[in-house]
Structure 1
């Protein structure tokens, strides 16, 4: 029984029992990151597994670069370049939230240690967006200029490359600076972008993934994987320990 418990613990453990996790790198929107690759040899390629699949356009595990050079994926067009002094390394500029994910360099001898990128707040295109969840059915997105400037400003929201328009589940206020929405609606998930009216086409991006209780949230929902699966495994561990204790008690009698 004891060995079975350790097997289940090993399946759950994210640390030494399962090997070293990817190296975490946290950056703000608009920043850049150098992705190193120590793989030898003239042929290698980089693979990206997005942290927010729907926000990133559901690309799955995507090859983003290779040596010799190949076509550049649209998600990183104009922002991804080889580093001139580090063979195989990549420089990703002007980061957005949908860039978050795991980057792995594959050489002729196999994959190198991966890098997990998390893109958080920051200031991009002189805009920033914050979120505040006040209840399971109420989430507020707030867009403002950065640095904070005096004077009126109007904002426009784009969801998955389409203008938000007027939705019953999303209410805009303060010249569009805030949007109060129902995050339980599947239509609310994806890539949100705030843009300043009268300025250029660029904006600030924030990703909303499908909620755990949404209809049809399956294996693609990371919340579902990391909340439901460990809970089920812990239930099995508890049942096993209970049976083992009962067996020991009967044996003692």
Structure 2
């Protein structure tokens, strides 16, 4: 079951006159047209059922710029395609295989202005041959979620229920009947989220229902205006960030080069200083090795310490006293006198 919904855009109109609201069933193919010539072009999405979609803030879901096209949110990666003639400024973003959690506000923007804002609501209906209907129960605070096959409209088949991707068995205040109906006696904020029903025989046949207590049409209209303001601010911030990135990358390269030069210069100076210290050390060692042998005693031939050497030197000087006479007193020495002189001992 697949239908086509074309959302035609009148470009550059004020938000109050250009906001479009569409209510469709699951599996509807939705086309968002946006005529804008300046790049980049951005589509943003603000989810209506934040707990069901597990997104509570505005998201950029598709971007067209000089580098190409890209989808930036995982849930849309295989379901968003681009049509139209981008070179002529005619862009068409196509959402396929839509589900209830895709409901929300979609806006098309360039870098400065929100061109168009859409309110898309996907209601209960058949999806993958399974449908979930919400029914009232006794008491205004309770609800029932009935699951059945779209082919035969019967609830006799076996279905498995999950709540936010977890089995419903054991959930407080929740009852599962034999007819594959979930009964919630008193709906609270704890029950908000995605309820999924899948065929037990064929899990590929399933459907989802977003239970949301805060969904009101008046709030959605106000949100569209709020999202438009936020979208313009978000695009402005993105542009500023892009400009900062373009500046940061060259500065980073310059810093890296400067640091590399500093490291190289430091290494060169260290090696030079170390080489000089080594040369000075070798010079000092060479000078010290010129006369390092100790004096030797004349009598024993053994090396003497500093004190012993000094004492020996004094004795030698004493023994070397000149005993010669003046020329007038000089006379030939007798053999005995010469012998006595030569008998002076050096101690």
Check conservation: 1:40, 1:108, Cα contact below 8 A.
no
Question: Are 1:36 and 2:33 counterparts?
Answer: yes
Correspondence for 1:184 among 184, 187, 191: 187
Per-residue Cα deviation, 1:63-109 (whole angstroms, up to 9, x for no partner): 10000323431222311111255642111011101111110001134
How do 1:149-188 residues align onto structure 2 when only pairs under 5 Å count?
A: 152-175=156-179, 177-188=180-191
1:78/1:154 CA distance change after superposition, 3 Å: same
Deviates more, 1:162-171 or 1:28-37: 162-171
CA–CA distance in structure 2, aligned partners of residues 129 and 53 of structure 1 = 19
Check conservation: 1:28, 1:122, Cα contact below 8 A.
yes
CA–CA distance in structure 1, aligned partners of residues 69 and 178 of structure 2 = 47
SS in 2 for 1:98: helix
1:202/1:187 CA distance change after superposition, 3 Å: farther
Instruction: Please identify which structure carries the higher strand content.
Output: 1
Per-residue Cα deviation, 1:1-45 (whole angstroms, up to 9, x for no partner): xxxxxxxxxxxxxxxxx9337201121111111011112223111
Aligned partner of 1:49 in structure 2 is 46
How do 1:1-253 residues align onto structure 2 when only pairs under 5 Å count?
A: 19-20=16-17, 22-67=19-64, 68-84=68-84, 87-134=90-137, 135-148=139-152, 152-175=156-179, 177-209=180-212, 211=213, 221=214, 226=219
CA–CA distance in structure 1, aligned partners of residues 119 and 153 of structure 2 = 34
Normalising to structure 2: TM-score of the pair?
0.52
Specify the structure having the higher radius of gyration (Cα). 2
CA–CA distance in structure 2, aligned partners of residues 153 and 139 of structure 1 = 21
Instruction: Please identify which structure carries the higher helix content.
Output: 2
RCO comparison, higher one (Cα < 8 Å, 6+): 1
CA–CA distance in structure 2, aligned partners of residues 204 and 179 of structure 1 = 14
Per-residue Cα deviation, 1:124-149 (whole angstroms, up to 9, x for no partner): 11000100123332100001101216
CA–CA distance in structure 1, aligned partners of residues 165 and 16 of structure 2 = 39
CA–CA distance in structure 1, aligned partners of residues 58 and 18 of structure 2 = 18
Per-residue Cα deviation, 1:167-210 (whole angstroms, up to 9, x for no partner): 231101125x201003433221101111110203452111111x
Aligned partner of 2:233 in structure 1 is none
1:85/1:137 CA distance change after superposition, 3 Å: same
SS in 2 for 1:64: strand
Give the superposition deviation at 1:151: 8.8
Check conservation: 2:128, 2:204, Cα contact below 8 A.
no
1:203/1:129 CA distance change after superposition, 3 Å: same
1:151/1:141 CA distance change after superposition, 3 Å: closer
Deviates more, 1:109-118 or 1:92-101: 109-118
CA–CA distance in structure 2, aligned partners of residues 65 and 88 of structure 1 = 12
SS in 1 for 2:75: helix
Q: CA RMSD in A?
A: 2.4
